[in-house]
A and B are shown apart, each in its own frame.
Chain A
Amino acid sequence: MFSDVSFVALSSFFPLGISQYILGGIFIGLAVVLGFLFTGKLLGHSSVFSSTWSYISSLRYFHQAHYRKARQWRLLFALGTVLGALIFTVFTGDWFVSSFSWWQLLVGGFLVGFGARYSRGCTSGHGICGMSSLSGMSTTAVIIFMIVAVSTAQLIQFLGAL
């Protein structure tokens, strides 16, 4: 009786099941471990949006050693991320186009880029690399951006604005 109730409660939070989430998490974890063991690098994604600017901008900020020296591998890491998803989708045929409006993506992307670079981390940087390093500051960042993102998304839905 009790287990029936808790099963229904659990599955209502996971309407699509959980196996794809666990499998995906395993691949992501292995990707970060592979990079760390062989090269010592922490593989967050957001830095590429700063380091790549150093190819075309002369702003001194972009030519700090930690961006300029990393710009090549960061771009390759980003390219790999695109291609990894592409190869998977070539096999599954599960092509996808989002229904978000272009300005929603542009504004959201702008804030994500600004916030990630201002706090030096994103979902993969603070969320996976930072938390796995038991960094208190990264864990703080994750808790804050989760709360803000959930509130923002729920508020937008409530207002029916988007």
Chain B
Amino acid sequence: MFATKKNLSYLPLFIIFCSGLLFGLGLAVSQMAKPEIVQSFLLFEDLGLLFVMGVAVLIVLPFYTLYPKISRRSFFGSPLEKYPSLPFRKTVIGAIIFGLGWGIAAVCPGAALASLGIGNYQIIFALIGMFLGSYCVALLQQ
């Protein structure tokens, strides 16, 4: 994975777990873990989601664009990933279907996970739906 197969290092896994903790904290603090708040964005009643996404992008952007100019490897020595780019058609079709689902249930994958953390046990149905939807993509592209 990060190191060679036999020499599995747990430190990168720990860091990623901490990233998850911070991400979940951010989704809870920003209220995005509540589908009702995301819905109020989609209905233009509260545009807060734009701030959450905008601030996050403003923080990440300089690191994504400048750090690769300083080094080709992460602090732990693994190569830096680049965001994969799919053909235009697949991106558009997928984004339309994603938008339909987001409009219906006001949940996206990260927020659904965080929603479980704030006690919203109902969100388990959305998570089951996401696993099933991913499975259908696999069947389709097999």
Contact = CB atoms under 8 A, between A and B. Distances in A.
Interface string B90-111: 1111111111111111111111
A129 B52 contact: no
Interface string A81-109: 11111111100001111111011111111
**By CB atoms of chain B within 10 A, which of A111, A140, A146 has the most?**
A111
A111 B35 CA distance: 16
Nearest to A134: B65
A96 B99 contact: no
Given A34-B22, A129-B83, A148-B103, A112 B126 contact: yes
Kindly state the interface size class of chain B when it binds its partner.
Answer: 35 or more
B16 A76 contact: yes
A80 B17 CA distance: 5
B42 to A, nearest CB: 4
Interface residues of A, number: 121
Contacts of A103: 125
B74 A36 contact: yes
B15 A38 contact: yes
A73 B31 contact: no
Interface string A1-32: 00000000000011110101111111111111
Given A97-B122, A109-B129, A148 B27 contact: no
Interface in A117-132: 117-132
A79 B67 contact: no
B117 A29 contact: no
Nearest to A96: B118
Contacts of A145: 95-96, 98-99, 102
Contacts of A134: 61, 64-65
12 contacts: A26-B56, A31-B25, A36-B64, A53-B138, A85-B25, A87-B21, A96-B119, A110-B129, A112-B109, A116-B108, A119-B93, A150-B44
Given A40-B76, A85-B33, A138-B83, 10 more contacts: A20-B31, A25-B52, A33-B63, A37-B74, A42-B83, A84-B20, A98-B115, A111-B129, A112-B130, A156-B103
